[in-house]
Amino acid sequence: MDYDYDRKYLASFTLRRDGSSRFGQNNQWGNFPAASVGWRISDEDFFKFAAMNQLKFRASWGQNGNQEINTRATSSIFQSRYATQSLFTNEQDEGTAYDLTGSDQGNLPSGFAKVSSGNPDLKWETSTQLNLGVDFDFFDSALYGSFDWFKKRTEDILTTTQPLATEGEGAQMIVNGGTIENTGIELMLGYTDEFTLASLGNFTFDITGNISTAKNKVVALPDSVVNSFGGNGQDKTILGKSVNSVFGYVTDGLFQSAEEVAAHASQPGAAPGRIRYVDLNNDGVINEQDQDFFTNTDPDFIYGLNFTLNYGRWDFNMFWQGVKGGSVRNSWRLFTDFTSLNIGSNYGDRTLNAWTPDNSGSNVPALTLLDNNNEARESSFYWEDGSYLKLRNLSIAYNIDPNILDARVYLSAQNLLTITPSGTLSQDPEAPNSVFPIPRTLTLGMSMTF
Amino acid sequence: MYNKLKTAVVMLTCSALMTIAGCGGDLEQSPQGTLTEEQITSGGNLEGLVTATYSYLGNDHYTAPNFLWPTGNLRAGDAHKGGNGPGDIFAYHALSMYTSIIADMESYPPDFVDLNNKKWVRNYTAISRANTALKALADVTEAEFARKTIREAELKFLRAFFYFDLKIHHKHIPYVDETMSSEQIKALTNFDLTDQQLWDKIAADFQFAADNLPVSQSEIGRANQLSAKAYLAKTRLYQAYEQNDLHQVVNIDLQKLQTVVDLVDEIEDAGVYGLLDDFGQNFLHRFENSKESVFAIQRSRNDGSPDGRGSWPTALNAPLQGGFGCCGFHVPTENFVNAFKTDAQGLPQFDSFNTSNYVLAQDAVDPRLDHTVAMEGKPFKYDTELMIDDGNAWARAPAVYGNFISMKELEHPDCECRMQNGPFPVFSMNTVLIRFADVLLWKAEALIELNRLDEALQIINRLRSRAMNSTAMLNNASIYNIGLYTEFTSQQQARQALRMERRLELGLEGHRFFDLVRWGVAKQTLDAYLEVERSRKPYLQEALFTAGRDEYLPIPQQQINLSGGLYKQLPGY
């Protein structure tokens, strides 16, 4: 339902009522209201700032629901299941077929397996979002922009539990567990103007920049799902941290000498040139308790800058986009920095610069065929700053005189430049583990209308 | 303005009314293609629950095998892990090093899955299938379901099988049966029952099976009275060697060992099982389900399953040549190969076998070597057209692990039983869990402890005679010399002979480490092994067996966490 009074007061209200057979008898229906209001304060009689052409305040609030789980989550059921796939490490045959007669081939007798335990209290996952913003316009729209603040809270997140092994097959349930909050701000500012250069004529330009940041936090974590998000299920859980947090060991460079090895906590496989793992709990031993949430993949902020220039029939455009902060995993280091982890494969040329007593500044561990230090374990060794600034688009175009030909000729380049901080090892933090890089494209083209 | 406001109010009320009028209705949907707990208990469906329990025998994989080559052989000094280096399944590298075995191995590459936890979970999944079926069976009568007692016996057999696997790996485990509710299960700890009480539980299930199963079943894959008696004997044998809290053997219960002898006598007297004429026939597809196969995992191919229900536990164990290509795991050690050398009398060189490595052209060996290990200069799987000319070309990382090949689990590349799944060859050749030779050796072991040395001697010589006659397929690949023992002069000498005989007869079949722990000799045997092997294989430089800890694998940390701390860890971890 929309309401608009005098184009000055705006309001909108909707109410959804959704039902899903996927949820328990008690909770099949969910109500999802949403409302928004706007106030164009610049249209008010009392508004007397001449420079401000427009100022509008906005606020909205809404809820919606998620039901993306399998359709059978509410019952305890048995499924007739012949055989399932056996795929590397993570999936093994969970079927019920067996060659009871010893015939070695042909159709086998089979039976039933318990699929999952029912949860009659299962209900909708609900997201509530509050958004406050202001749009503004100054100096006859030469300077314009908007600012937004949002907070989104997702509750009763649908999660599959990891049950105790002794509870047996089909003990895993889908439950409502966990609440995540996302809070953020976004600012957009633009400036349009024109100027004249004596001999050349009139130029118009527009510069627009935007910057946004968001924080993610797990604010509630019931016991039933504490093991579904990493951590050790006891004192180190994802509660209070971003849901995108990474759990593992923390490294501290390479051991430079036998003295350093001796001075450090007891670490099986330690030696000069080997990765040093931090003794997080200070108990003198490096073991699985020395793991923690050491980083997350959330950027500090993301930003962009767009610049357009027009001169007569020419136009020029440049668009920069960047990310600051957040970590990325450079999994290629398993191949480029080690001769011990994939014997028999080709090695990266970084191995030529591996640590030796004469080359002690290197961040590539000393070469060995025997990985006694378990250096492929998940640790901060493989994670690095994901910041980058890219020149996404650079283009120049000429609009041919319509009396001659209704056409436009252009030369444009995509992904022309990538700028990263000096310590970055990955080729492209935007896609650090791709097999193929994001291509740099140069296009020369012409578009015509008939 | 008032008019506009009034319009707004009217519109709002109308929308509200329409919403309320439009909803309601029934959202109940029963799931399709499935059965509920009530429906599952009908006769035809009960057989399905039993089959599903058997199925878990064959649902294993190299990451969670029911053929125990990783935990049984890599920890025993009989085989190296293999593959392309320590990082290629680091959790199995840890088994060779001992010090790297930790409570949570989730951080181990390449797949970052704790395999110790995975095996634990899969064992309890299998047990839950047995319990579910037993619970359903309890609700029907013999009148409704004629085979009720037989199937109950089979289910208890299977349940005890999986508990046996958990017991020899972890010693102190939670015990779940079909009568327990979810709340009771969540309150269990792994120290509720003592070491001996857990063995008694396992034995009770095998006893029920032995008392209620027919001597043979029309479907050969099923358990029968004799295979149940065999497992009962195996359970009592392990149980007889009583351990203290630090896993040292403090007493041997001779009464239990007498039970072992009696049970094996009953199995022999039934006349169903025996020894094959040629030792090597045990490891060929065309002889599967032979008289020497007391209980086996029935493997199959072309059976409609996505990847074939073949020997997935050994999918990594084929060499790089010979028509295979991957992945070079399970590499026999020099120490193991050297053990097959024989002296002038054809007997094992107990004290000196490992002082120098086996030389094909010079050293006489027990013929069983060439059925167990393939190596340079000899044919692969009896095929003289398939000679191993360059041993290193057949191996994955010879500089790290050497180039021997474990042959018992591999068939010839042209075997009709072979399926190729990407780089992994899997065979539909059965995995024999109990071989009749093993059953005989249990009796011999018990007899020795009962000081009936001559009877034990006869059994050991029977196996050596069979080995003597097992050269027909070998094409004179080596110098063979195997002899019989003339007498055992002492219990100690008899023990030494029996323990060596188990290594030669059942080598690389996944028993060795559990034998060493049962006898209480793990630490001294492995110290002696490592002292020499370290110099031959540098990757073992820091390997160290800690007594009172490494006899068992830790309780998986993930399970301790999920139990809310109710499970307690084993000593040393």
| B530's tokens | 């490592």
pLDDT for res A122: 78
Q: Which helix (H) or strand (E) holds B242?
A: strand B241-243
With H, G, I as helix, E, B as strand and everything else as coil, classify residue A352. helix
Interface mutation vs chain B, best among A370, A373, A375, A380, most B CBs within 10 Å: A370
- In this predicted model, what pLDDT tens digit does every residue of A361-378 receive, in sequence order? 999 999 987 777 888 888
CATH 1.25.40.390 fits B40-306+433-562, yes or no: yes
* Distance separating alpha carbons of residues B194 and B175, to the nearest angstrom: 11
Q: To which residue do tokens 């034995």 refer?
A: B203
Q: Distance from B516 to chain A by nearest Cα, in Å?
A: 26
Is A109 close to B12, i.e. CB distance below 8 A?
no
Is A29 close to B23, i.e. CB distance below 8 A?
yes
Per the model's pLDDT, the better-predicted residue between A414 and A177 turns out to be: A414
| B88's tokens | 């290629």
Contact B310, B334 (CB under 8 A): no
Mean pLDDT of chain A: 87
E strands, A23-84, in order:
29-40, 52-66, 77-80
pLDDT for res A15: 83
Q: Please, what are the averages of pLDDT over each run of 10 residues along chain B (573 residues)?
A: 50 49 51 70 84 97 97 98 89 92 81 90 97 92 91 98 98 97 93 97 98 97 98 98 97 98 98 97 97 98 94 96 94 98 96 96 97 97 96 94 97 96 93 98 98 97 98 96 97 98 98 98 97 94 94 94 91 92
Is B19 close to A17, i.e. CB distance below 8 A?
yes
Using pLDDT thresholds of 50, 70 and 90, give the confidence band for residue A27.
confident
Whether residue A118 is predicted with pLDDT greater than 80 in this model: the reply is no
Got the DSSP string for B463-521? HHHHHHT--TTSTT-SEE---------SHHHHHHHHHHHHHHHSTTSS-HHHHHHHHT-
* Distance separating alpha carbons of residues B264 and B440, to the nearest angstrom: 7
Is A93 close to B309, i.e. CB distance below 8 A?
yes
Whether residue A380 is predicted with pLDDT greater than 60 in this model: the reply is yes
Complex ipTM > 0.85: yes
Radius of gyration, alpha carbons of chain B = 27
Q: Please tell me which residue of chain B has the smallest CA distance to A103.
A: B300
Compute the CA torsion angle A426, A429, A431, A434 (nearest 10 deg): 0
Q: Which helix (H) or strand (E) holds B5?
A: helix B2-22
Q: Is the dihedral angle over the CA atoms A368, A332, B424, B170 positive or is it negative?
A: positive
Q: Which helix (H) or strand (E) holds B196?
A: helix B195-212
Got the DSSP string for A244-310? TEEEEE-EEEE--SHHHHHHS-B-TT--TTSEEEP-TT-SSB-SGGGEEEEEES--SEEEEEEEEEE
Contact A298, A242 (CB under 8 A): yes
pLDDT for res A88: 76
pLDDT for res A197: 86
Contact A254, A276 (CB under 8 A): yes
Looking at beta carbons, which residues of chain B come within 8 Å of A98?
A: 51, 54-55, 57-58, 221, 298, 309
pLDDT for res B32: 57
Whether residue A132 is predicted with pLDDT greater than 50 in this model: the reply is yes
Looking at beta carbons, which residues of chain B come within 8 Å of A113?
A: 52, 129
pLDDT for res B24: 45
Is A378 close to B562, i.e. CB distance below 8 A?
no
| φ, ψ at B275 (rounded to 5°) | -95, 140
Using pLDDT thresholds of 50, 70 and 90, give the confidence band for residue A198.
confident
Using pLDDT thresholds of 50, 70 and 90, give the confidence band for residue A50.
confident
Strand pairing report for B364-365 and B479-480: parallel
Q: Please tell me which residue of chain B has the smallest CA distance to A249.
A: B107
Mutual angle of helices B148-170 and B43-58, in 10-degree steps:
30
Looking at beta carbons, which residues of chain A come within 8 Å of B42?
A: none
Using pLDDT thresholds of 50, 70 and 90, give the confidence band for residue A53.
confident
Burial class for B309, CB neighbours closer than 10 Å (0-12, 13-18, 19+)? buried
| B125's tokens | 């999944």
Domain ranges, ordered by start, for chain B: 40-306+433-562
Nearest Cα residue to B239 out of B205, B196, B201, B192: B196
* Distance separating alpha carbons of residues B572 and B172, to the nearest angstrom: 14
Is A78 close to B12, i.e. CB distance below 8 A?
no
Ramachandran region of residue A282, left (φ > 0), alpha (ψ -120 to 50) or beta?
Answer: left
Lowest-pLDDT range of A185-189, A238-242, B84-88, B337-341: B84-88
Is B85 close to A343, i.e. CB distance below 8 A?
yes
* Distance separating alpha carbons of residues A24 and A55, to the nearest angstrom: 47
Domain ranges, ordered by start, for chain A: 244-296+335-382, 298-326+386-450
Per the model's pLDDT, the better-predicted residue between A450 and B50 turns out to be: B50
Interface mutation vs chain B, best among A88, A162, A169, most B CBs within 10 Å: A169
Mutual angle of helices B436-449 and B225-240, in 10-degree steps:
40
Is A166 close to B131, i.e. CB distance below 8 A?
no
